[in-house]
Amino acid sequence: MTAATPFHDLDSYIALPRMSGLTLSPDGTRLVTAVATLDPKRTRYVTALWEVDPAGERPARRLTRGAKGESSAAFTPDGDLLFTSARPTNGDDDEPVPALWLLPRDGAEARVVAERKAGIGGVRVAREAPVVLVTSDVLPGAKDAADDERLRGLRTDRKVAAMLHDGYPIRHWDADLGPDSPHLLAGRLPSAGPAAAGDDEPRVELTDVTPGQHNALVDQASSISPDGSTVVTGWTRRAAAGDARSALLAVDVATGERRVLLDEPDADLWSPVISPDGAWVSFVHEAHSTPELAPVVTLRVVPLAGGEVRTLGAGWDRWPAEAGWLPDSSGLVVVADDDGRAPVFRVDLASGSVRRVTSDYAAFSDVRVAPDGRTAYAMRTSYATPAHPVRIDLTAAEPVAARPLPAPAPNPELPGRLTELETTVADGRRVRAWLALPSGDGPHPLLLWVHGGPLNSWNAWSWRWNPWLLVAQGYAVLLPDPALSTGYGQDMVQAGWGRWGAAPYTDLMAITDATVARDDIDETRTAAMGGSFGGYMANWIAGHTDRFRAIVTHASLWALDQFGPTTDGAYYWRRELSPEMALENSPHLHVERIVTPMLVVHGDKDYRVPIGEGLRLWYELVSRSGLAADDEGRTPHRFLFFPDENHWVLKPQHAVVWYGTVSAFLSEHVLGQPVAYPEVLG
């Protein structure tokens, strides 16, 4: 009998520490990561900052202990640590908002250096100057910071939540856009030393460097030049018929003067990063799609002063997702999905050539390069381990494995093993997948789990969609990358573009066939599951095959003609979801053919896939499916509804309910072993 792991008990699972993010000091001697743990009531996660030794010799040590948690860590040029925290700054703060704190490098107590009624986030610091850049929300009618505070107080006192819009969109993911919107504010950092006797502690005087705009900076990244004089930011530009695109703007920090660095009517320009020498800006260029053509994503650079744009990695058939400059500005380190992994690559500025750096079967993020350019640090993850800090040798001629650093928490023991498999489909494409297997010979029941996106890949650990909880219950969990998946080249994306019900579906069935052909898989006990686009595929599967005993669909697209205009970014989906595409690929048109019990899961605050999709799916299942409600209103279908969750299920105890409900539903229909649903459901 295998010893119990944290995945055998949901309470133990949600209590596992979760690491994220990485920040490197200017001299390369200090690394800081964030660790989220359960609060004493076990109802939310609280994040603390921990220091990790870059040399890998000393154990990690905790730096902060605020009851509300800390985030947005950034080092100053002098090596002091900035972060945001919603700690009370005086006795009258009933609901404190995040303020900007400074933790001196000499070990003195942390102190507040800036605060705003709207809160502060997104901290960035100039490389060579004591200039800090932050984000904070501003009401459009506010004349200054004092007036912004007055207007907020007025709305609070009169209990007004109404918003008046004059443009599109009005929502984003799970947030209502308005009445305020994010702005960039800059200021000079105070000295870390103690204030003179009798003096107030020095504060950062923040100045709005992006006034006069509304919602242009929603979900946009920005970068500050080494000397602190210029900010380059993504900037949403509105267009006719509710359309939008992302441009790059350069902002003079001293004057607030803005100039368009780059703007293309048929592309989105994302994630600008200014080079250490201040000469270049790297960015991700995403060509707009059409109903027939998938988007093309490339890495490009443009002079900060403006000028000719260059594409790096020409002929490199991968999509860059995260880029950072080498210290001498001779090139960049880039992360991109690749064959079920997300390695680190090195891109030369002069030649544009691309070379793989890491050999790990893993996905990397938050890559930070040491000042000498010989070493990088990153967070590494895979379906074998959650995110943890590692050290990467940048000098090796061939790809090398990263070395783990002493982390704040150990990697949890898994209840099984991870392998991979692949098959070749009719058009000659290779379709591969991860397969998480329980211990023992089997044969094991199989759960097909379809990823969301759809432009995505199963390559990194997820706390929300974690296969090991089902593996602990005896299931083999298949995590395939069908057509539309990233990391396999442009042809793989194009194969499913505008044809969601074709190649993605047939790819999934082909890799499932290859899996159930194994001796350790029981092809008579199978289920399918997915969230978001994976939920769409679960719905499509339900209407096109009866091979599965149960199907779980989370935050799923059901009626494509309804989804397109009601999602938070209809302009994006209009480029792909033509009326013809929606008619050919909408699952709701096949509801009468559904004869498999379905568990529908949806959150009321989901703006990406609005609740109307789940409500319509549920009604049509109970009224028109092959398992419609009988004369007494009974049906094997179930609907798990979260009134206060969004596209994901984020609250710890709701995660327990989600996994507990999924487990009970699968056990009843796949294993033939009815078990109780979570008690807290009443």
Distance from the first to the final alpha carbon of the chain: 33
Q: Which residues, in sequence order, are bridge partners of residue 341?
A: 338
| Cis, bond preceding 443 (omega within 30 deg of 0) | yes
Give me the residues paired with residue 240 across strands.
none
Could you give the angle at the alpha carbon of 265 between the alpha carbons of 259 and 267, nearest 5°? 100
Phi, psi of 293 (to 5 degrees): -120, 130
pLDDT in tens, 234-260: 999 999 999 999 999 999 999 999 999
**Rg for the chain, CA atoms, rounded:** 26
Residue 574's alpha-carbon distances to 189, 539, 566, in angstroms, are: 45, 21, 11
- pLDDT for the residue numbered 90: 57
> What pLDDT, on a 0 to 100 scale, did the predictor assign at position 194?
53
Q: Which residue has the tokens 């105890």?
A: 653
Are 337 and 487 contacting, i.e. CB atoms less than 8 angstroms apart? yes
Model confidence band, residue 197 (pLDDT cutoffs 50, 70, 90): very low
Residue 190 is predicted with a pLDDT of 83
Q: What is the mean pLDDT of the chain?
A: 95
pLDDT at 193 over 60: no
**CA dist., res. 447 & res. 438, Å (int):** 12
pLDDT at 422 over 90: yes
- Whole-number pLDDT of residue 107: 85
What average pLDDT does range 606-610 have in this prediction?
Answer: 97
**What was the pLDDT predicted at 643?**
97
In angstroms, the CA 140 to CA 311 distance is 38
| Locus of tokens 């299942």 | 621
Token duo for residue 255: 């004057």
Q: What's the rounded Cα separation, in Å, for the pair 281 and 329? A: 10
Cα dihedral sign for 325, 326, 332, 334? negative
Phi, psi of 520 (to 5 degrees): -95, 10
Fold of 416-672: Rossmann fold (3.40.50)
Looking at the whole model, is its pTM more than 0.85? Answer: yes
- Flag whether pLDDT at 88 surpasses 90: no
Total residues found in the chain within this entry: 682
> Which of the 8 DSSP states describes residue 625?
S
384-397 pLDDT per residue, tens: 999 999 999 999 99
Residue 677, token pair as written in the block: 């649903």
Query: Selecting from 2.120.10, 1.20.120, 2.60.40, 1.10.3470, what CATH number does the domain 121-404 have?
Result: 2.120.10
CB atoms within 10 A of CB 413: 12
153-192 pLDDT tens trace: 999 999 999 999 999 999 999 899 999 999 999 999 986 5
The average pLDDT across 50-70 equals 96
Closest by CA to 363, choosing from 377, 344, 345, 376, is 344
| Side chain identity, residue 134 | V
Nearest C-alpha neighbor of 344 from the set 261, 401, 299: 401
- H-helix segments, 436-502: 468-471, 490-496
- For residue 544, give the 3-state DSSP assignment: coil
Q: What pLDDT is recorded for position 195?
A: 47
What is the distance between the alpha carbons of residues 537 and 528, in angstroms, rounded to a whole number?
9
Overall average pLDDT of the 440-452 stretch: 96
Span 1-6, average pLDDT: 72
Tens digits of residue pLDDT in 511-547: 999 999 999 999 999 999 999 999 999 999 999 999 9
Which segments within 28-156 are labelled E, that is strand?
A: 31-38, 45-52, 61-62, 70-75, 81-85, 99-103, 111-114, 121-125, 131-138
Q: Which amino acid is at 455?
A: L
Question: Is 676 or 87 the better-scoring residue by pLDDT?
Answer: 676
For residue 563, the SS3 value is helix
Domains in the chain: boundaries: 121-404, 416-672
What are the structure tokens assigned to 187, written together? 């200021």
Indicate whether 376 pLDDT > 50. yes
Which of residues 106 and 625 earns the better pLDDT score?
Answer: 625
In 3-state terms, what secondary structure has residue 590? helix
Q: What is the pLDDT of residue 87?
A: 83
Return the half-sphere exposure (C-beta side, CA atoms, 13 A cut-off) of residue 580. 6
23-57 pLDDT, tens digit each: 999 999 999 999 999 999 999 999 999 999 999 99
* DSSP code, position 8: G
Q: Which residue in the block uniquely carries the two structure tokens 């209502």?
A: 176
What percent of the chain has pLDDT above 70? 97
Please choose, from the candidates 508, 571, 499, 496, the residue with its C-alpha nearest in 3D space to the C-alpha of residue 545.
Answer: 508
Position 333 confidence tier, pLDDT thresholds 50, 70, 90 = very high
